[in-house]
Structure formats: C-alpha cells, structure tokens
Amino acid sequence: MPGPAAGLEGRHGAGPPGVQGVARFIHIGGQQHPQLPTHSGSRPHTMSNFRVPVELFMHTPPLTIHPEAPLEEAWALMAERGVSSLPVTDKDSSLVGILSRTDLLRVAGLETGRRPDSDSLVLPDRPISEEMTREVRTTSRDTPLDEAAKAMVQNRVHRLVVCEDGVPVGILSTRDLMLALEEKQANHPLSDWMSSPVFTIRAEEPVGMAVERLEKARVTGLVVVEDGWPVGMFSQTEALEARDLPRSTAVGDVMNPRILTLSPATRMHRAAAQAAATRVRRVVVQDGDRLVGILSGLDFARAVS
C-alpha cells in the first residue's frame, strides 16, 4: 500500500543555513512523462478522459505559511483548515519548501519518551524552516491532469504545488482527483484499484504502538478493528491530536469513527463521490465479513493517471 513520501534529497535543513537558495523544486509538466512504479498484477486503463489541464481541478488560493512560524502554529493551521501540508513561502511569496503532517510526526516522534506514561508525541519549539521539506514537487496550470496524477504516484506524494514564476497559485491534491473521478464518471470497480493487504490495529492497542506502526509501514492511516470489524481510522491526524496523551492510551479512545466501507464491486466514481462528500481520505473495501482492501489518495491518483 502506498505510503507517504520517502526521505527526499535536500530536506530537513540540508545545505547552508537560512532559507533562500536552499530549496529545490521538481517541476512536473511540459515534456516530462513520469513512469509509474511497478505493481504486482495489471492495472486497467480508465475509459474516462483526464487529459485536461490541472487548473480545472486545483483548489485556490493555496494556504501558505512563513518559515519563521513555529511548528505548533503550523499544526494548528493544518487542523483548523483540514489540510495535510502547507507550502512555505518567504516575504516575497516565493516557494521555499513544504511542511507536511509526515514531517511533524517525524520530528515529534524523536522528542517523545518510550515509557507508557510518556506523551505520545512532542512537537518541539522550533521554526518551520528547520524541519520543512525543501525538495518540493511543483507543476503548472496547464499540465495535463493525468500527467500530474502519474507524478504523484511515482513520487509517492499526495499533492503538487501549482506555481507561476516560483509563486504558489494553487494546490492539486488527491482529494481534487476524487472530484475528477466523480465528474468523469470513472466506471471501474474498486477491486481494480484497491491496495492490499490492509494495515490494521486493534481498538484496545496503545496509541504508542499505532504511531510506530504508521512509521514502520510507511502509511498515513490504519484501519481500527474491533472483534474483526472495521470501526474507525487512526491516521496521522489522530496521532498528532493525541500527542499530549500517554502512549498507553487505547487507540479506540482517540480514533476517528468516521469510516466509509464499500464493496469491491462499487464503481470508482461512486466511491469518489462518497469519499468527497463525507471528507474521508480512504475507502475501506469489505467483501462480506472479509476486509479485502483499501483505497488511499494515491490509489485514486492511479485511477486518474
């Protein structure tokens, strides 16, 4: 199952001190045609046409933050606005990096103890500039949507920053791709695009274990099960929201009970519409009493690419 972006060259304070001149941007568009990673089994080609410009589905204006802001402020803004990352811009509005929930979890995990009564996570009092990712995937308004989706899959990122002359003008996220699948009436069943196996955790297990499992599995969310049935999600969001609680706190006490469970035969456009309407980032696929797969944002991106 796809996970968050792996460690990227130039991130986390690499290079000379300061912000200007350190960022590195990987631009998606033009003549570049990223190759999809190899997967076991064949993936179908969608019959819908996604050869349309990114600007038709990107959301604007982008929510940004300055590099001098503290990490705690960045997380508060992410939580308030329901976003998973923030482009970081300087005083001239130029892009200098990006800060994601993955970055916050990484640094917060390094600061916590291992005792059951230790805080689950600890966000240090540091500026964003010390922990942001400086290698940013960017694209243009006129990049074809399917090409942008391929780039997300190849680079294992859940969003691209849309820039003009180095200034962010929009964000294309996997949530935006859900809307494209709905609009284009993508008709393949979920079984064609779901990922398996599904990473799970029992409701009675401790939050500390769940946080470690997120990191080791390189995924952004776990399905919480109770008596063998999915009852919620424990994602990076819940991990950060529970950071002041003891590591021994039960996952079931902090999980998100909002969960979308569909059958393998459900059509992609139906799943995308329901996921967007309920503001869930993943679709759990259940065949009778069997948990058979999950669709994450990157699985939706594959369906568009």
Q: Report which residue type is found at 286.
A: Q
Task: Find the mean pLDDT for residues 137-154.
Answer: 97
Task: Find the mean pLDDT for residues 229-242.
Answer: 95
Residue 117 pLDDT exceeds 70: no
Residue 41 pLDDT exceeds 60: no
Q: Are strands 85-89 and 95-100 parallel, antiparallel or unpaired?
A: antiparallel
Confidence of residue 31 (pLDDT cuts 50, 70, 90): very low
pLDDT of residue 120: 74
Q: What percent of the chain has pLDDT over 70?
A: 82
Residue 4 pLDDT exceeds 50: no
15-29, 97-111, 237-251, range with the lowest pLDDT? 15-29
Confidence of residue 150 (pLDDT cuts 50, 70, 90): very high
Confidence of residue 43 (pLDDT cuts 50, 70, 90): low
Task: Find the mean pLDDT for residues 30-40.
Answer: 37
Return the structure tokens found at 131. Answer: 């922990």
pLDDT of residue 115: 65
List the one residue out of 205, 43, 208 whose CA is nearest residue 114: 208
Q: Report which residue type is found at 210.
A: A
Confidence of residue 104 (pLDDT cuts 50, 70, 90): very high
8 Å CB contact between 295 and 194: yes
Helix or strand holding residue 277 (H, E)? helix 268-278
Task: Find the mean pLDDT for residues 230-239.
Answer: 96
8 Å CB contact between 178 and 61: no
Same fold, 24-183 and 190-304: yes
Mean pLDDT of the residues in the chain: 86
Task: Find the mean pLDDT for residues 60-84.
Answer: 96
Q: Report which residue type is found at 3.
A: G
pLDDT of residue 128: 98
Q: Report which residue type is found at 240.
A: L
CA quadruple 72, 73, 76, 81: dihedral, nearest 10: -150
pLDDT of residue 44: 55
* Domain layout of the chain by residue ranges: 24-183, 190-304
CATH fold group of domain 190-304: CBS-domain (3.10.580)
The answer, as to whether pTM is greater than 0.75, is yes
Residue 35 pLDDT exceeds 60: no
Task: Find the mean pLDDT for residues 275-303.
Answer: 95
Can you tell me the distance from the alpha carbon of 145 to that of 159, in angstroms, rounded to the nearest whole number? 12
Over residues 152-171, the pLDDT tens digits come to 999 999 999 999 999 999 99
pLDDT of residue 28: 77
pLDDT of residue 26: 79
Task: Find the mean pLDDT for residues 187-211.
Answer: 96
CATH fold group of domain 24-183: CBS-domain (3.10.580)
8 Å CB contact between 34 and 150: yes
Residue 198 pLDDT exceeds 90: yes
User: Looking at per-residue confidence, does 104 or 2 come out higher?
Assistant: 104
pLDDT of residue 18: 37
pLDDT of residue 278: 92
